[in-house]
Amino acid sequence: MVKILVAGFKGRMGNTTVKMVLDHPGFELAAVYDPRAKEKNINEIAEFSDLDVPVYRELTAISCHDVDVWIDFTSPKAVFANAKFALQNKISPVIGTTGLQDEQVAELKKVAQQTQTGGLIAPNFGISAVLLMQFAQQAAKYLPDVEIIEMHHDNKLDAPSGTALNTAKLIAEVRQEHYQGNPDETEALPGARGANYQGMRIHSVRLPGYVAHEQVLFGGPGEALTIRQDSFDRSSFMSGVAVAVEKITDQHELLVGLENLL
Ligand SMILES: NC(=O)c1ccc[n+]([C@@H]2O[C@H](COP(=O)([O-])OP(=O)(O)OC[C@H]3O[C@@H](n4cnc5c(N)ncnc54)[C@H](O)[C@@H]3O)[C@@H](O)[C@H]2O)c1
């Protein structure tokens, strides 16, 4: 049995993750963590009344004995401290929270190396998003003019999405940085052309009703290609999280991207 702590369990993704962990025959829910929690034990919540799982509200209060894997769906402000704490205590982090900066990822990689602890940061656990990123990287070799549109629910804190940024980084590995659009273009409204990542424009849409969606648009002389993925329900991320949990304790470094474990 893999013993799991779910950080951010009061949130949308954390709640879905708790249910996945409880339903998985190989996983045991060892603890949950969320500063928003009022309970001391998860059995104070009606739907979990038959369980006995400690609830933590502060990082320093967490007892690390009996925890193998730390699943994190929290916030861009919390994720770095959480991931560092897990690695320092030799708990393998499986990080779904987006918004980590490149320097923070580099520091976490060092801590993982020092403690010889495996971990994963996955901007997207959905298989359709992982495939979209791979297909987009392949297409960019032939169609180097690309714009990305990501669409999310209006409670999302970070922009652009981790998936959009990761898509742009993967594309940047295979194409020359170059300016796109008319060199003389102007913005009548600032931001109209979107964020700029090495010449690629990224547009972030936030609307109620959406979950997580992304389109990568390629244009060439006389032709265009659009690759699109849609996550309609948070359960779509759970098979990827489960795979990561199953495989992560065999690793001894911090990996970025679910494709590294598939
Ligand atoms: N990787 C993926 O596949 C994937 C998919 C969906 C969402 N996400 C990301 O997951 C994160 C959470 O999304 P959500 O929609 O569940 O958000 P949410 O706001 O519903 O939930 C976040 C929860 O984290 C809690 N929290 C805040 N600080 C914390 C801390 N220090 N420690 C523990 N918990 C803390 C909050 O109280 C809240 O309950 C976001 O960064 C989102 O972009 C990733």
**Å from CA of 156 to ligand 1 middle:** 9
For ligand 1, atom 19: residue with the closest CA:
11
Pocket lining: 197 vs ligand 1, CB cutoff 6 Å: no
Q: Around 38, how many Cα atoms within 13 Å sit in the side-chain half-sphere?
A: 2
Pocket lining: 8 vs ligand 1, CB cutoff 6 Å: yes
Q: What's the chain's average pLDDT? A: 96
Whether residues 168 and 216 share a domain: the answer is yes
Whether residues 114 and 132 share a domain: the answer is no
- The contacts of residue 110 (CB under 8 Å, 6+ apart) are none
Whether residues 9 and 113 share a domain: the answer is yes
Distance of alpha carbon 66 from alpha carbon 2, whole angstroms: 9
Structure tokens at 41: 């034990």
Q: What is the pLDDT of residues 106-143, one digit of tens each?
A: 999 999 999 999 999 999 999 999 999 999 999 999 99
Whether residues 159 and 239 share a domain: the answer is no
Pocket lining: 11 vs ligand 1, CB cutoff 6 Å: yes
Q: Has 110 been annotated as catalytic?
A: no
Whether residues 40 and 57 share a domain: the answer is yes
Whether residues 116 and 21 share a domain: the answer is yes
Domain, as residue range, for 178: 127-231
Task: State yes or no: 199 annotated in a binding site.
Answer: no
What ligand 1 atom has the least distance to the C-alpha of 162? 43
How many domains is the chain built from? 2
Q: Which of 250, 262, 24, 259 is nearest to 119 (CA)?
A: 250
Give the CATH number, domain containing residue 171: 3.30.360.10
Distance of alpha carbon 162 from alpha carbon 168, whole angstroms: 10
Q: Of 152, 169, 213, 247, which residue is the catalytic one?
A: 152
Whether residues 6 and 100 share a domain: the answer is yes
Strands (E), 154-253: 195-197, 200-206, 212-220, 223-231
Say if residues 82 and 96 touch (Cβ distance below 8 Å). no
Whether residues 117 and 198 share a domain: the answer is no
Whether residues 227 and 239 share a domain: the answer is no
CB-based burial, 24-34: b 16+ in 10 Å, e otherwise: beebebbbbbb
138: three-class secondary structure by DSSP: helix
**Å from CA of 15 to ligand 1 middle:** 10
The pLDDT score that the predictor gives to residue 65 is 84
The pLDDT score that the predictor gives to residue 77 is 96
Distance of alpha carbon 214 from alpha carbon 234, whole angstroms: 15
Whether residues 94 and 147 share a domain: the answer is no
Give the CATH number, domain containing residue 36: 3.40.50.720
Distance of alpha carbon 154 from alpha carbon 163, whole angstroms: 16
Q: Has 156 been annotated as catalytic?
A: yes
The parts of the chain modelled with pLDDT lower than 70 are: none
Rg, Å, the chain Cα set? 20
Whether residues 117 and 131 share a domain: the answer is no
117: three-class secondary structure by DSSP: coil
Whether residues 111 and 140 share a domain: the answer is no
73: three-class secondary structure by DSSP: coil
